Amino acid sequence: MILLLSILLLLATFSTKLTLRVGVPGLVIFLGLGMLFGSDGLNLIYFDDPLLAQRIANIALIIILFEGGFATKKEVLQSAFAPSFALATVGVLFTAVALGLATHYIVGLSLEASFLVGAIVSSTDAAAVFSIFRNKSIRPKLATTLEAESASNDPMAIILTISMLDYIQNADFQVFAFIAHLIWQIVGGLGMGYLFGRLGPHLFNRARLESGGFYYVLVLGFCYLSFGVAEAIGANGFLAVFIAGYLLGNSEFVYKQGIARFLEGTSTFSNIILFLMLGLLVFPSELPAFTKEGMLIALLLMLVARPAAVFLTTLFWDYSLKEKIFLCWGGIRGVVPIVLATYPAVAGVDHSNYFFNIVFFVVLVSALIQGSTLDLLAHRLDLLVGTKKTPPHSLELISTETTKCELLEFEVEKGSSLVGKRLEYIPLPKTTLVTAIVRHDDIVTPRGDTEIQEGDILFILTHYDDKERLLAVLE
């Protein structure tokens, strides 16, 4: 079993090289590998345990949401806070309601089942979108909106799904009690996330652990503790870990860069494990029976529910028609809907296998159709603004003690006043040092007579107090 799982992980890792060539998100390949190794494929790994799948998924999802919050920069969220927040909350609700109503009246499912499907598939996946634009840039306004929305809309979808399951299972359902519980889920989750997010930097700065490895253990414990405490008081733990991660990631504390790298790797591993596991859980031979309804619900989501949510929630902000169309098509579904599709089975809801297969089909169709055409749509709508430059080399400042210095990365763009200047003639603050220059694929050792060229990436060590002065000189 270990041999097969290791081969599966290696195949999944190397298959990411195909995503740019094929033009579809990696999740499609991961799910495909899971199905290939599963019972209906090569029959190498048999897995048919929704309860175990949900437990593993929740453990992984906590890390994914925490890292999503940790990696969300305050500047990104603030630059498009209002529309992104609206899309991540009201937009998710609109999507669930619109898809629920459309599914009920067009597909013919019961109202409860329709709204449950709508709640499960109501969130989008940031990783799926930005894996497509890994080497390209879309307009900053659109990029920040999609990034902030996708990073923060999962908790709302989770809350809606759990609430719908409570409604379906509770015979003596009371509206006011339901609303009160929903409000507490949100308020309690926000409150616990804020509390842990503010306590986190103090915890890390005062820990003074023996080696960097212990900080990785500490951040995992901190992440799961914030979830566990929130759940213990009846609040939403997923919302709490996202908020805690966001506040911690936008604070300064010991070993932050190392922890950021660790969380990125752990989140990536969790994503791959989730998709492979969910691919193993599905039985491809059962999918043809859901083709008609699955395709119809997927089209209703892509062409009715998502556009309705986008156009309604962005009504008060200045987005052009082209930008709104792109936002509509950029709502690719990912890992969270498939994880939530295991909840009905665990909760003992009738026809739970139906929900899992329908949602699986919808996510697969969304990733294949939207994922393979999003790049073309951005080009046709003239929303691309060039290419992203990823340097082949990188420097980081990692310290197990508090430091007043920061290592900045700055790209010299076309038309910059720095082009053609020698380093000795650039009026850098006294506490500032250019430590390395990445030029093309090489690292240049900076000297006073080194001439800056267009496209150079400068790594600059500076004191926190001089950061603003340095940026003023560079820009």
Q: What is the pLDDT of residues 59-107, one digit of tens each?
A: 999 999 899 889 888 877 777 788 988 998 999 999 999 999 999 999 9
Range of the structural domain that residue 433 is part of: 405-474
Do both 51 and 191 map to the same domain?
Answer: yes
296 and 436 in a single domain? The answer is no
Q: Which residue has the higher pLDDT, 377 or 41?
A: 377
Give the pLDDT confidence score for residue 428 in this predicted structure: 87
Domain count, the chain: 2
Q: Both 103 and 158 in a single domain?
A: yes
Instruction: Tell me the three state secondary structure of residue 173.
Output: coil
DSSP string, 69-124: HHHS-HHHHHHTHHHHHHIIIIIHHHHHHHHHHHIIIII---HHHHHHHHHHT---
Nearest-CA neighbor of 274 among 79, 23, 24, 63? 63
Bridge partners of 459? 409, 436
How many CB atoms are located within 10 Å of the residue 365 CB? 19
What is the tens place of the pLDDT at every residue in 218-242?
Answer: 999 999 999 999 999 999 898 899 9
- Stretch (H or E) spanning 54: helix 50-71
Checking if the pLDDT of 142 tops 70, the result is yes
3-state SS assignment for residue 313? helix
The reply to whether 22 and 96 lie within a common domain is yes
Instruction: Return the residue matching tokens 């599914």.
Output: 103
Structure tokens at 352: 């739970």
Task: Give the bridge partners for 410, in sequence order.
Answer: 458
Last residue of a domain, one of 329, 355, 387: 387
* pTM value > 0.85: no
Span of 13-27, 94-108, 116-130, 181-195 with lowest mean pLDDT = 13-27
**Are residues 420 and 368 located together in one domain of the fold?**
no
Residues 285 and 419 in one domain: no
Residue 411: per-residue pLDDT? 86
Q: Which residue has the higher pLDDT, 391 or 119?
A: 119
Q: What pLDDT, in 10s, does the model give residues 265-316?
A: 999 899 899 889 988 988 888 888 889 999 999 999 999 999 999 999 999 8
- What pLDDT shows up at residue 131? 64
pLDDT above 70 (res 129): no
Using an 8 Å Cβ cutoff, are 197 and 244 in contact? yes
Query: Radius of gyration (Cα) for the chain, nearest Å?
Result: 24
Give the chain's end-to-end CA distance (angstroms, integer): 55
Residue 397 lies in a domain: no
Residue 392 belongs to some domain of the structure: no
Whether residues 426 and 337 share a domain: the answer is no
pLDDT top residue among 115 and 185? 115
Q: What pLDDT shows up at residue 225?
A: 97
* 369 & 461 share domain: no
Per-residue pLDDT at 134 exceeds 60: no
The predicted model gives 196-218 an average pLDDT of 90
Residue 400 inside a domain? The answer is: no
Kindly report the CATH number assigned to the domain that includes residue 245: 1.20.1530.20
395, part of any domain: no
Question: Partners of 136 in the beta sheet?
Answer: 387
pLDDT at 443: 87
Say if 183 falls within a structural domain.
yes
**Which of 340, 360, 387 is the last residue before a domain boundary?**
387
**What is the chain's mean pLDDT, rounded?**
87
Tokens of 308: 């309705």
- What's 284's DSSP letter? G
| Tokens read off for 471 | 């940026």
Average pLDDT of span 42-56 = 88
pLDDT(209) > 70: yes
Measuring CA to CA, which residue among 225, 277, 234, 240 is closest to residue 60?
Answer: 277
- Give me the mean pLDDT over the 341-359 stretch: 89
Identify the band that residue 132 occupies on the pLDDT scale cut at 50, 70 and 90. Answer: low
Give the domain-ending residue among 326, 353, 387: 387
- Tell me: do 272 and 370 sit in the same domain: yes
Co-location of 323 and 458 in the same domain = no
Check pLDDT > 70 for residue 13: yes
List, as one string, the DSSP characters of 139-153: -HHHHHHHHHHHHHS
Question: What confidence score (pLDDT) does residue 376 get?
Answer: 86
Both structure tokens of 350: 């009738």
Tens digit of pLDDT for each residue in 380-434? 998 877 665 555 555 666 666 667 777 888 888 888 888 888 988 888 888 888 9
pLDDT at 395: 63
Name the nearest CA neighbour of 230 among 183, 193, 181.
193
Give the strands of the sheet with 405-411, arranged side by side. 405-411, 457-463, 433-439, 442-444
| Residues 227 and 294 both lie in one domain | yes
